[in-house]
Every structure is written in structure tokens, then in C-alpha cells.
A and B are shown apart, each in its own frame.
Chain A
Amino acid sequence: MKVLTAVKRVVDYNVKVRVKADQSDVDIGNVKMSMNPFDEIAVEAAVRLKEQGAAAEVVAVTCGAAASQETLRTALAIGADRGVLVQTDASLQPLAVAKLLCAVVQREQPALVILGKQAIDDDACQTGQMLAALLGWPQATNASAIGIDGGMARVTREVDGGLEVLELVLPAIITADLRLNEPRYVTLPNIMKAKKKPVDVLTPEALGVDPGSRLETLRVEEPAARAPGIKVADVAALIDKLKNEAKVI
């Protein structure tokens, strides 16, 4: 079984982004970029399936500018066998990424695609579901456990009231939630080995996909700032404030 995993280069999760003065976007000019944390979990899940013998090959895919190649190399260092970069300078929205991934899936014919549940920049939480829809495959989002048995995947999902378990007919799409696994640290020898692993570079044109945007961002603003708070000396003062000033208890 071949497993495809999709990764995205995003602003590192520890960075607190600032909005540009002209309100056109957030300023990501000189900030640290990393692999989206949920995608690390997705790659780890794919590599573990290979280590368990359930997968024969793991292919990592990313869509974006040339610098996304670094993110792909991280996936290869975690243990993916080879990479596919769909290179474009277009600003990509989830529907466009889903169409690009759909074209890559049709070339690669994997039995399973694992993505992160959402990217921490646009917080959209759409791409996996859209890819499943375009391919007509079943989906299990927010996965916290994955088991492969013959032509089926048994997936535990994190839902609002607790957990639920689904069985999907393969081929299928799974998106990874936080508790699916703890991604391994990439070691220096594996980073060196990753440099030698093959990466195919494709373009949206070669895949026959228009990567254009469907939503226009009119402006990006700072959220309304909260009024500065105060520190109270003790419990009595806190209760007094909550009762008489804030009137919430």
C-alpha cells in the first residue's frame, strides 16, 4: 500500500504575528517558518504505518513557493521515501490545494492520504475534506487512532462529545488531530539522508489545475484589544471585583 501525506510550510507556531500597517495581510517577512504541526503528526502516522508493515511507500507532497522544498525535506527526514513539490508563487487557498492534491493522487494512486486537520495560519480546516469530495473517497477527520486491516481503515475520531469510531473503505482520506501521535525528532544523520531522497517538481500547469483564489481578502486587522486588567491582592478583593465591578457572579 502506498501512503501519500500532504505538508504545508507555515509561520512557526510560537511566533505571534503582526498585522501589516496597510492592513493587506499579516507580516511574515522575517519570521521563522516551520512545518504545520498537524502535518508533522500526519507524516509521523504515515511513517509508522510503513514501520508496522502496513505501508510499502510513503510519499510527501507540498504545494507552494520554492522554499516549501525545506518542509518537504523535513518530511523526508522523518521517514518519507520521496517528495513531490507542486511549485507555484500563487497564493493558494484550500480549494486550489485540494485540486492540486487531487491531480497528484491520480498520478500516484495511493491507497491512503493523511493530512493535518488544519493549518495554523489560515485555520481553515478544509483541505482534507475537499480532497475526499473531489476524489469521491470516504473521509475520517480529526483522527486520534488509525488501524489498517485489509481493504479497510478503522479510525477513532475526536468529536465534540468524546470519541467516535468509523470504518472506511480504502482508498480513503484521514486528517490527523493532535493526539494521534507524538512526532519524532529528526536526527542529523536522517537530515543528511533526506538530502539524497528524490523530489519531483511539478507545476499547476503541468497538472492542469488553475490555482487562482476564489476568496478575496479585503483587509486584515488586529483583533480588538482588551482593556488592561488589574492584579488583586487576595480572594476577598477578587470576589468584590467580580460581584460589584464586573457583576458576573
Chain B
Amino acid sequence: MTTLVIAEHDNAQLKGATLNAVAAAAKIGGDVHVLVAGANARAVADQAAAAAGVAKVLLADAPQLADGLAENVAAQVLAVASNYSHILFPATASGKNVAPRVAAKLDVAQISDIIGVESADTFLRPIYAGNAIATVQSADAVKVITVRTTGFDAVAAQGGSAAVEDVAAVADSGLSTFVGREVAKSDRPELAGARVVVSGGRGLGSAENFKILDPLADKLGAALGASRAAVDAGYAPNDWQVGQTGKIVAPQLYVAVGISGAIQHLAGMKDSKVIVAINKDAEAPIFGVADYGLVGDLFQVVPELTSAL
């Protein structure tokens, strides 16, 4: 029994989500190998080889693998899949894009967003926006799985000494072409992995007012997040969205400012260790999950909190 973890990276840097997926693989048992499919991505393979618990790294390096096109990456995974009992992807935008394609080609069910490993064929996963946890058992010969990163503590990035093995890259499918990317600029910690998250909702009222959260986030070393209402209203960019349809976060501290607490938002943050809610409506559902709630006008409370820290 050997598990293959598909690395998440940008051809230069291994993304933290990979280390959470390796942790899930370690719980399944058996050897853990990592596949790095990219272009000029040897540095990524070296980083993966240094991760604790990784026995071997496969590197497929070719221009057609540069941008993570689902058709090419899935074909690359399938090219090496026959040696593995489990194939794990982090449940990121790219992992979710490719994993089902691999599963369908192998004619196996895919198991999405696992948060726990009960045994080599039995896994826990949230359904209905996290309002229920299902325990599912797979009868398939190969288990294709995406791993919710907040469900597993990352393995150490250092301490391993796996060998890097080059594997032949698959040909370009020719079905799709990468045109361009528009990356949202941010000096703050990455939302999904941040220790502290400060999130704003519709209560902020405007994109201008949203900036009231900046000094608070700076003082806490926090990533900024947003509810769907705030994103739809144009107060915040969409990759800040926390919830069922956005990012799933589980920081040490989550500060919800002007967020009512719809089911879809709670799905993305209710596993945070400590939740603080600041809202002027004492009946807002967010207070139902908050450890500490403060009823008040955020335009008064947030600056006061910032200067008191």
C-alpha cells in the first residue's frame, strides 16, 4: 500500500496545503510519495523531498505542465497511478479541479474534502455545508481523495531526505490553453493558512469602510477575509471569501466584523479555535457560534480594539 500525494505549487514554491495532504497520507499508513507536475519545478521537488514522512518524489517537468491545466495534469497522474492504492490531492481550487478527472478515468468514486481517516478505506467528510459529518467507506481498488487542509496538521517542511526521481512528462492534450492570470496582490498571510483571520461583512457598508479592518489585521498579523455579501457588494475581492463556496479556514482566532452568520459562511469558519463576533444586532446568528461576542457599532469598536492592542 503506497499513497501518492499530488503537490500544490507555483513552479517555485511548494504550497503549504501539500504538507497537510502528506499528513493525511501518513494517517492512512504505508509509504508516501509526492508527484510534482510542473515546468522548471525542480526546486519544488527538492522542497517536497525535505518534507517529513515523504519517501520518494516524482518530478514531471515540461512546459505543458506549467499552468496546472486539468487535462494535462490528470493525464500525468494517470501515467504513474498504477503503482498506488491511494491518490491524494489537497482540496484547493487546483486539487478539486483535477482529482475527479483522475477518478473518472480510473472508474472509481472520488472522496471529497476528507477531515478524518478512520482506516485505509474509511473516511470522514462534511456534507450539507458542514451541518453533518458522513463516514464513508470505499470499495474501489484505488482511492482518489481530496484532503481538507484544515482537517490535518501539516507535517514538518524539513527533516525528510527523499530521493527525487524524474518521470516522463505526458504530451500536451491540445484541448485547452492557458491565457493569463490575474493574481490578487497581498502582503498579508495567506488566508487558508493564517493563524488569525479578520473578516468583514455587509455591515462594513463600503469598500472604503472595509479599510477600517486593515490596522486591526496589521496589529494581529492576520489575514483578511470577507463574507459573500461583502464580496458581492464589491467591498472585498472574491478570493477573500470565507464559506461553503469560498475558502475553508480554521485559524486560532477568527474575528467576524459586521457578519450576520449565514449557514454558508459558518461552513467556512466554524472550526476556528476561538471565534469573536462584533455586530450591532444582538440577535445575529454569528453569536450562536462565537466564543466572545461584543454587541456594538463596529465603527466605534474596531478602532477602539485596534488602539487597545
Beta-carbon contact of B94 and A159 below 8 Å: yes
Is the CB of A165 closer than 8 A to any CB of chain B?
Answer: yes
Given contact pairs A13-B263, A120-B129, enumerate 15 new A-B contacts (beta carbons under 8 Å).
A121-B128, A129-B101, A138-B176, A160-B239, A161-B183, A162-B184, A164-B182, A165-B178, A223-B133, A229-B287, A229-B291, A234-B296, A246-B273, A248-B252, A248-B253
Complex-state Cα separation, A235 to B128, whole angstroms: 35
Is the CB of A123 closer than 8 A to any CB of chain B?
Answer: yes
Is the CB of B9 closer than 8 A to any CB of chain A?
Answer: no
Q: How far does the Cβ of B250 sit from chain A's closest Cβ, in whole Å?
A: 12
Q: How far does the Cβ of A246 sit from chain B's closest Cβ, in whole Å?
A: 5
Beta-carbon contact of A222 and B132 below 8 Å: yes
Is the CB of A220 closer than 8 A to any CB of chain B?
Answer: yes
User: Which bracket fits the contact residues of B?
Assistant: 35 or more
Q: Which of A13, A94, A121 makes the CB contact (< 8 A) with B110?
A: A94
Most buried by B among A16, A158, A248: A248
Is the CB of B112 closer than 8 A to any CB of chain A?
Answer: yes
Beta-carbon contact of A138 and B71 below 8 Å: yes
Beta-carbon contact of B263 and A16 below 8 Å: yes
Collect the chain A residues with CB atoms within 8 Å of residue B232's CB: 178-179
Collect the chain B residues with CB atoms within 8 Å of residue A13's CB: 263-264
Complex-state Cα separation, A243 to B108, whole angstroms: 49
- Can you list 7 A-B pairs with a CB-CB distance of less than 8 A? A121-B128, A123-B128, A158-B239, A172-B175, A217-B134, A220-B133, A229-B287
Given A218-B136, A223-B131, A229-B290, A125–B180 Cβ distance below 8 Å?
Answer: no
Q: How far does the Cβ of A178 sit from chain B's closest Cβ, in whole Å?
A: 5
Which secondary structure characterizes the binding site on chain B? mixed
Is the CB of A133 closer than 8 A to any CB of chain B?
Answer: yes
Complex-state Cα separation, A40 to B257, whole angstroms: 30
Q: How far does the Cβ of B164 sit from chain A's closest Cβ, in whole Å?
A: 26
Per-residue contact bits, chain B 177-213, to A (CB 8 Å; 1 contact, 0 not): 1111111100000001000100000000000000000
Given A125-B112, A133-B104, A216-B137, A234–B128 Cβ distance below 8 Å?
Answer: no
Q: Could you tell me which B residues sit within 8 Å of A by CB distance?
A: 67, 69-71, 74, 92-94, 96-105, 107-113, 122, 126-140, 173-184, 192, 196, 220, 228, 231-232, 237-239, 244-245, 247, 252-253, 263-264, 270, 273-276, 282, 287, 289-296, 301, 304-305, 308-309
Is the CB of A98 closer than 8 A to any CB of chain B?
Answer: yes
Beta-carbon contact of A142 and B93 below 8 Å: yes
Is the CB of A3 closer than 8 A to any CB of chain B?
Answer: no
For residues 125 through 147 of chain A, which have their beta carbon under 8 Å from a beta carbon of chain B? 125-134, 137-142, 144
Which secondary structure characterizes the binding site on chain A? mixed
Beta-carbon contact of B104 and A215 below 8 Å: no
Collect the chain B residues with CB atoms within 8 Å of residue A248's CB: 196, 252-253, 273-274
Is the CB of A107 closer than 8 A to any CB of chain B?
Answer: no
Is the CB of A66 closer than 8 A to any CB of chain B?
Answer: no
Beta-carbon contact of B134 and A220 below 8 Å: yes
Q: How far does the Cβ of A217 sit from chain B's closest Cβ, in whole Å?
A: 5
Complex-state Cα separation, A58 to B135, whole angstroms: 38
Q: How far does the Cβ of B180 sit from chain A's closest Cβ, in whole Å?
A: 5
Is the CB of A214 closer than 8 A to any CB of chain B?
Answer: yes
Is the CB of A154 closer than 8 A to any CB of chain B?
Answer: yes
Beta-carbon contact of A160 and B94 below 8 Å: yes
Beta-carbon contact of A98 and B294 below 8 Å: no
Collect the chain A residues with CB atoms within 8 Å of residue B270's CB: 223, 226
Is the CB of A167 closer than 8 A to any CB of chain B?
Answer: yes
Q: Which of A11, A130, A168, A239 makes the CB contact (< 8 A) with B309?
A: A239
Beta-carbon contact of B126 and A242 below 8 Å: no
Beta-carbon contact of B74 and A133 below 8 Å: yes
Q: Which of A11, A95, A178, A242 makes the CB contact (< 8 A) with B104?
A: A95
Beta-carbon contact of B140 and A158 below 8 Å: no
Is the CB of A188 closer than 8 A to any CB of chain B?
Answer: no
Complex-state Cα separation, A221 to B131, whole angstroms: 9
Collect the chain A residues with CB atoms within 8 Å of residue B179's CB: 154, 164-167
Given A95-B103, A133-B101, A229-B292, A139–B305 Cβ distance below 8 Å?
Answer: no
For residues 188 through 229 of chain A, which have their beta carbon under 8 Å from a beta carbon of chain B? 213-223, 226-227, 229
Q: Which of B128, B252, B295 makes the CB contact (< 8 A) with A231?
A: B295
Complex-state Cα separation, A160 to B238, whole angstroms: 9
Beta-carbon contact of B228 and A238 below 8 Å: no
Q: Which of B74, B107, B305 makes the CB contact (< 8 A) with A238?
A: B305
Beta-carbon contact of B137 and A132 below 8 Å: no
Beta-carbon contact of B174 and A169 below 8 Å: yes
Which residue of chain B has the shortest Cβ distance to A243 in the bound complex? B309
Complex-state Cα separation, A14 to B285, whole angstroms: 13
